[in-house]
Chain A
Amino acid sequence: MKFMLLVHHNEETFGRFSEAVKQEMLRESIQLTHQLHAKGQYVSASPLQPAGTAAVVRVRDGKASVTDGPFIETREQVAGYFLIEAKDLEEAVSVASRVPGARIGTVEVRPVREVAGLPE
C-alpha cells in the first residue's frame, strides 16, 4: 500500500544552513529516491517552494477566497514529500528514517486511503 511521507521543518532554521549543506541534503534525497526506485518502493517525491509562496484556498457558501498562507502559527512547514509503496508501517517508518529532512525536522508518515474512481 502507499504511504505519504510529509517532510516538515522550520524554514527559518533551514534558511540559515549554508548553500553547500542544502545542496548535500538535496543530493542525498535524490539518491534515496533512486534507492527506493530500485526496490519498487518509489512512487513520487519532490521538495516544495517555501511556505511563503503558498496560496490558501477556501470555498465557503460557493464562493472561493484565496489568501496567503498557510499557517503562521505553526512553526514547522511542509518542505517536501515522498510518496512510497511499503508493505506496512514498519517498512514506511524505516524509509522515513532515511529521509535527510528527518534529521533537521520531522517526517510524518501517513497511509494513503485507497478510493475507487480515480484516473489510473
Chain B
Amino acid sequence: MSEQEARPVAEIVDALYRAESRQVLATLIRLLGDFEAAEEALHDAFAAAVEQWGRDGVPANPRAWLVSTGRFKAIDGMRRRARFDASLTEFAKQLETAATEPEEPDEESVEDDRLRLIFTCCHPALSPDAQVAMTLREVCGLTTEEIARAFLAAPPAIAQRIVRAKAKIRDARIPYVVPSEADLPARLDAVLRVIYLVFNEGYSSSSGDSLLRHDLSGEAIRLGRLLIRLLPEPEAMGLLALMLLHDSRRAARTSPTGDLILLENQNRRLWNREQIAEGTTLVERALSTGRIGPYGIQAAIAAVHAGAPDPAATDWVQIVALYDVLMRADPSPVVELNRAVAVAMRDDPSAGLALIDAILERGDLTNYHLTHAARADLCRRLGRTADARVSYELALKLSRQEPERRFLRRRLDELSESGKRD
C-alpha cells in the first residue's frame, strides 16, 4: 500500500467519524448494553477501518461494517477477558447469538437507536447537569475538554460527571429505550429542557466571556434539527423555531465592543433572514397541528418580532394575545412580566407599570434584575426620573452579566444627564 493510496482512506475514515460515529455508537450501545464497552468498540472499529480499508477498499455500507466490526471486537475482547471472569463467556455467547440479526440495519432502526441515546442521556433520574454533559458528550460527540471549556468548568469535573452518569445508567438499570407513548410527553419535556439549556448557555452566557460559548447555541440547534427529524412533535418544532429566531438576532444584539443592544435599537438588516424564514415556517407547522405548547407559543412571539421591518411596525396586539395564550399554557411570573412589557407597548407605559407593580407587590420576582430593569424603563418613559433611578440601581445590584451591567450603568448616566438639563 503506497502513501498516496493510504491518505484518501484516512480522510474517508476521518470524514465518516465526524458524520457517523454517533450513529454507530448509538447502535453499539444497544447491541452491547453498555456505554463504556460501546465506546471502546467504536474506537476499535475505526482503528480497524483505517487498517483494512487501505488494503481491501472501502466497503459498500461503511456504517454497517463499522457496527459489525465494533460488535465482533467487543465479543473478542470479552472472550479474552473471560479467561479471568467466567461470567463473561456466557455474555459473549449471548452477544454472538444476537449478532445473527440482519447485517444491514435499516434506516428506521438506526434512527431508533439515536432516539434511544437521546432519551437515555436526558433521563430524569440523572441530574440536570449530568443530562447536559451526557448529551453533549454522547449525542453531539463533544470531547470532555470542549464541554468543560463551554461551561467554564474543569475537565476532570466534567469527566467525573460523565463517569458517574454512566455508572448510574448501568446500576439503576436505566433502560436504553424510546419511552412509551404514555410517558413520551413528560420525557420529551426533559429532552427539550436539556436542548434549551444548552442553547441558552451559549446564547446568554450566564457569566463571563461569551465568545467561546457561541458553539453551544449551534450545537443546540443541530440537536433540535436531529430531534425533529427523528420525532416531529409540535413542541420539538416549536423549540427549534424559538432557537432559530433568537439566534437570527445574534449579530445585531451586541455592539462591536460587546455592549448589549435592545431589540428596539437593533439594526434589523443584521438579522439572519434564512434563520427567520426557517423559524417562521416551523412555527406555522407547529401551529397547524393544534397541539402547540409553551415553546411553540414563545416562538410565535419571536416570529411576530422578526416579521416587523422596524420597531414601530411591531404588532403588539398580536404579541399580547400570544402572551395571554402562554399564560394559560404555562403560567409563571416571568411570563407575566413579559406580558406587562408588551401591554406597555400596546397601550401606554403606565398600563405596563401597574402590572409590574402588582407582580412586585405580590412578592414575586423581587430579586430578578429584569423586573427592576423593565420597571425602570417604563418610569423613565413616563418622566418619573427618581423612580427610574431607584429601579435601575436595584437592577444593577442584582445583575451579574457584564454587558447587562454596562447597559444599566449607561442608562443611569443618561438619567443624570437629562436631570442636569431639566
> Hey, which bits of chain A sit against chain B, CB under 8 A?
1, 87-90, 92-93, 109, 111
Contact = CB atoms under 8 A, between A and B. Distances in A.
Contacts of A87: 173, 175
14 contacts: A87-B173, A87-B175, A88-B174, A89-B125, A89-B172, A89-B173, A90-B175, A90-B177, A90-B179, A93-B125, A109-B172, A111-B171, A111-B172, A111-B173
Contacts of A89: 125, 172-175
Nearest to A3: B173
B175 A88 contact: yes
Given A89-B172, A89-B174, A90-B175, 14 more contacts: A1-B173, A87-B173, A88-B173, A88-B174, A88-B175, A89-B125, A89-B173, A89-B175, A90-B174, A90-B179, A90-B183, A92-B173, A93-B125, A111-B173
Contacts of B179: 90
Nearest to B170: A111
Interface in B168-207: 171-175, 177, 179, 183
Between B171, B172, B175, B183, the greatest number of chain A beta carbons within 10 A of the residue's beta carbon is seen for B172
Nearest to B124: A93
Nearest to B180: A90
Contact-residue bracket for chain B? under 10
Contacts of A1: 173
The 4 A-B pairs of least Cβ separation, nearest first, read A88-B175, A88-B173, A89-B174, A89-B173
A115 B171 CA distance: 14
Between B173, B174, B175, the greatest number of chain A beta carbons within 10 A of the residue's beta carbon is seen for B173
Interface string B126-144: 0000000000000000000
A102 B143 CA distance: 39
A88 B175 CA distance: 6
Interface of B: 125, 171-175, 177, 179, 183
Contacts of A88: 173-175
A90 B186 CA distance: 13
A1 B177 CA distance: 18
Contacts of B177: 90
Contacts of A111: 171-173
A90 B173 CA distance: 8
Contacts of B171: 111
Contacts of A90: 174-175, 177, 179, 183
A115 to B, nearest CB: 14
A91 to B, nearest CB: 8
A109 B172 CA distance: 9
Contacts of B173: 1, 87-89, 92, 111
Nearest to B182: A94
A17 B172 CA distance: 34
A90 B174 CA distance: 7
A20 B174 CA distance: 38
Contacts of B172: 89, 109, 111
Between B175, B177, B179, the greatest number of chain A beta carbons within 10 A of the residue's beta carbon is seen for B175
A1 B125 CA distance: 18
B67 to A, nearest CB: 23
A5 B72 CA distance: 39
A88 B169 CA distance: 10
A109 B173 CA distance: 11
A106 to B, nearest CB: 13
B285 to A, nearest CB: 31
A87 B172 CA distance: 11
Contacts of B125: 89, 93
B192 to A, nearest CB: 20
A29 B173 CA distance: 25
Contacts of A93: 125
A88 B172 CA distance: 8
A87 B125 CA distance: 16
Nearest to A1: B173
Nearest to B175: A88
Nearest to B173: A88
Contacts of A92: 173
A20 B408 CA distance: 59
